[in-house]
Chains A and B, each alone.
Chain A
Amino acid sequence: MTTLVDPSVPRAGRSPTTTRRRLVQLRVGLLAATVAVLITSLSAFAGVQLAVDDVRTRTAPAVLGVVAAKAALVRADSAAVNSFETGQVQLIGPGQQYQNEIALASQSLTQVAEGNAAGAAGSGTLQLVQGLLVAYTGLIEQAGVHFRQDGATALGATDLWSASRLLHLPGDGILAQLDGLREDQHTALRRQLSTGWMHPVTIFVWVVPIVVLAGLLCLTQVFLHRRFQRLLNAPLLAASVLLLALAAGTSFALVSQDRSGDGGDTLNQVLQEWRAQTAATDASGQQALATVVQGQCVGIDGGCGVSVTEFVDKLPAASPGNEAADWQTIKTTEVNEKLESADQSGIFEFAIPGVALVIAALVLLGLQPRIDEYRYRSA
């Protein structure tokens, strides 16, 4: 014979006061865990998205901007020297390509200034580079004036040489300053991609409150089952389902993190390949410079002095640096695409608080009637 038991009636042997207290404790625990889930999930998701957004819109363009500026300056210098070497300078000065590349370098430096992630040191280097760039273009123009007025002269060659030295001087030259600036920006980018909410371990902080809340929901179900003989509490079951959905939504942060990491890797690849292209173009330009300068010298050591002699001795072999512009566009686009795909700030920022609010409401809905029962019984 089966005994029918009213599930709303608690089993005998337990004090109504103890049960009620336990129910209230569970309610407080569930609500506290829900708030913790809200805070950590929203922080994790927003933190990752904020970092990705910053990398995509500021730091990565700044790193690319520095490299683009350097490449443009190397191409400008090479174009100017070629114009002097071939004699085109008599008619067109340093040439249209030189002008275009200088304009491109200036635009790239402006882009770096907008996204500078290297702080005051980065700003200082940018100011210095912009100042040196003015001096560089001034020297090229002066060289052009001398070549056009008097043909190839020692003074014109000196101006061209000085301009190129200003660009290439180890440590203090414009290219060396840009290398330092790129390293500073790149360090900032690597830091952004590996610290805070972007750290592979830190991201799991948001999992802990979710596990705690899920555990509490299970515990509550078990308690209600034992105490009130109910199979499942429907509102708490719904809360558990929503919690799973919230966890799944927040886990998109991991996807963003991974994709931004891919974007960072592609950027590193771009930088390496870009460096090789720039070096090839530069070698060709420096060979042409040696030809122009040595054409003016007679006497001891070729009459050019120690600096030119050492420069010629150390010249690397020239190799073609063709198709650099096309290649650069394709790869830069790839970096941008990867970072854009990592930026997933869609409805999640609004969905996470909404879902957490509904979970809290369901917790209240699931527990309040039982608590109310005991209020009357203990009264």
Chain B
Amino acid sequence: MSRAGISLAVLVAAVLVASTACGTAGSDDTVIVLGPWTGAERDAFQQVLDDFTEESGIEPTYIGTRGLNQVLLSDVQEGTPPHVAILPNPGEVAKYVRSGDLRPVDGILGQNPEHAYSEQWLQLQRAGTSQLYAVAVKADLKSIIWYNTADFPGAKPQTWDELIAAGRERAAAGQTPWCMGMGAPPTSGWPGTDWIEDILLHQSGSEAYQRWTAGELPWTSSEVRRAWTTWGEIVHEPGSVRGGATAALLTDFVDAGKPMFAEPPGCAMEHQASFMMSVYQGFAHAGGALAPVEDFDFFPFPGFGGDPASRPSVVSADLAGMFVDSPQARELMRYLASERGQRVWPSNRDASAFSVNKQLLTARSPEEEVYRDDVSKRIAETLTSAGTLCFDASDLMPATMSNAFYRAVLEYLDNPDRLDDLLTELERVRIGSPEDWFNFPCER
């Protein structure tokens, strides 16, 4: 400290001694919330927190960072975690439950939690334990295929064969069937992993999917290999993907769907999660903003046989967990789990967010309706239904495995002849990562 500092410190110390003698200690009633959302998503979540403040009088401070996992891990290791953090998947929840950093929040769902949440979401929020550790703030449905409503009239494909046939018909008519973009630095490739996951789930069933997710099914197994080659029927079919594999590699996932709404449309279908609704709504269009139903719609990921009504779906969710147990933090968790707390974000017309709380679908009046268009309603119904829901596999795998998976997708797109080498290398990574696998069953 400089001499000026020392001089001032002496004075400050004298003032502090005096003020401490007659002062009282202040109470710590702040709630720090760490989350992954920035920009428009941050604004949308801030509306949730503002509503909480209106209800409780507590004013949480939100810190948003794209590097949430990194920042949270650092804070936890330094012993200064936030009161509440929004975790990107149940694997992260389970990790912090294992390490003892996450606090249970039993009792916040009330006497009859099954009235609000289906059994699979309750299990997910318990992170494989008997206690409640997390609350799903926002969820997404991944097993869907988007299309331009005007460009895709008539019956929609119900099976994989019908999907391939529909694509070939379009290609024969001179239109590229698929919009595709793998770009999402630094995790480019994940849109391709969503394809493999959906194909494996629908082709080999939820049991195989669960074993694969838990690190028990080898990458070199016939089920996994078949999923990759099945995807190859689309991505390596000449004229099937707009611009070919190189364009898919170089296109950002948020840009891939733009040609679908061009005049004439440059591609017809896109496999992406439900959050793409807000991306589409942001595209420039001659007739103004794109609207669900009128301009775009979706059909469920087709099956490989069996009853279409009982097909499973891949889902993802952001979950709130409490790291510091205080009455204010607990009150925030209770609010986030409540019908009121779950209602705010999905009610935001521009946000395209979905809740897993069933009560939001039972509106008492049209004014109370959260999901006002048919597209949103169908997504919300699938997310809250008693159907089989499987969590996004790459989100549950250890980070090393997920990154290798993303990378393998890019390599496969570039050169399908390398598939066997890639699967062998992926299998090597699986064997080399014996820990940090989570067994989250696909539930119904």
Contacts and interface: CB of A to CB of B under 8 A. Distances in A.
A14 to B, nearest CB: 40
A128 B70 CA distance: 7
B11 A50 contact: no
A321 interface: no
Interface string B200-232: 000000000000000000000000000000000
B259 to A, nearest CB: 6
A39 B10 CA distance: 11
Interface in A125-173: 125, 127-128, 131-132, 135-136, 138-139, 153-155, 157-158, 161-163, 165-166, 169, 171-172
A132 B65 CA distance: 12
A136 B247 CA distance: 21
B71 A169 contact: no
Contact of A305 (B74, B188, B247): B247
B173 to A, nearest CB: 16
A50 B1 CA distance: 9
Interface stretch (B249-257, B358-366, B380-388, B429-437): B249-257
Of the candidates B250, B252, B255, the one having the most CB atoms from chain A within 10 angstroms of its own CB is B250
Contact of B243 (A135, A158, A303): A303
Given A155-B249, A155-B414, A157-B250, 17 more contacts: A45-B7, A49-B4, A53-B5, A125-B65, A127-B67, A127-B71, A128-B66, A154-B246, A155-B410, A158-B246, A169-B185, A299-B244, A305-B243, A306-B258, A306-B259, A308-B247, A308-B251
Contacts of A62: none
6 contacts: A50-B2, A139-B185, A153-B414, A162-B183, A303-B246, A306-B259
Contact of A165 (B3, B7, B185): B185
What 5 A-B pairs are tightest by C-beta distance, nearest first? A128-B67, A49-B4, A305-B251, A305-B247, A135-B186
B146 to A, nearest CB: 15
B242 interface: yes
Contacts of A165: 183, 185, 252
Interface string A336-363: 0000000001000110000000000000
Contact of B11 (A46, A125, A128, A138): A46
A66 interface: no
Interface in B58-113: 63, 65-67, 70-71, 74
Contacts of A310: 255
Of the candidates B39, B181, B252, B414, the one having the most CB atoms from chain A within 10 angstroms of its own CB is B252
Interface residues of A, number: 51
Contacts of A136: 186
Interface in B229-280: 242-252, 255-256, 258-259, 266
Contacts, number: 143
Interface in B153-195: 176, 181, 183, 185-186, 188
B395 interface: no
B39 A171 contact: yes
B250 A158 contact: yes
A127 B74 contact: yes
Contacts of B411: 155
A307 B246 CA distance: 12
B38 interface: yes
Contacts of A87: none
Contacts of B251: 305-308
A124 B67 contact: yes
Contacts of B67: 124, 127-128, 131-132
A317 to B, nearest CB: 23
A301 interface: yes
A307 B252 contact: yes
B242 A300 contact: yes
Contacts of B242: 300, 305
Contacts of A303: 243-244, 246-247
Interface string B384-412: 00000000000000000000000000110
B243 A304 contact: yes
Contact of B63 (A120, A135, A157, A172): A120
B8 interface: yes
A324 to B, nearest CB: 26
B255 A158 contact: no
A153 B65 CA distance: 34
A291 to B, nearest CB: 14
A42 to B, nearest CB: 6
A154 B251 CA distance: 12
A297 B243 CA distance: 8
Interface string A254-268: 000000000000000
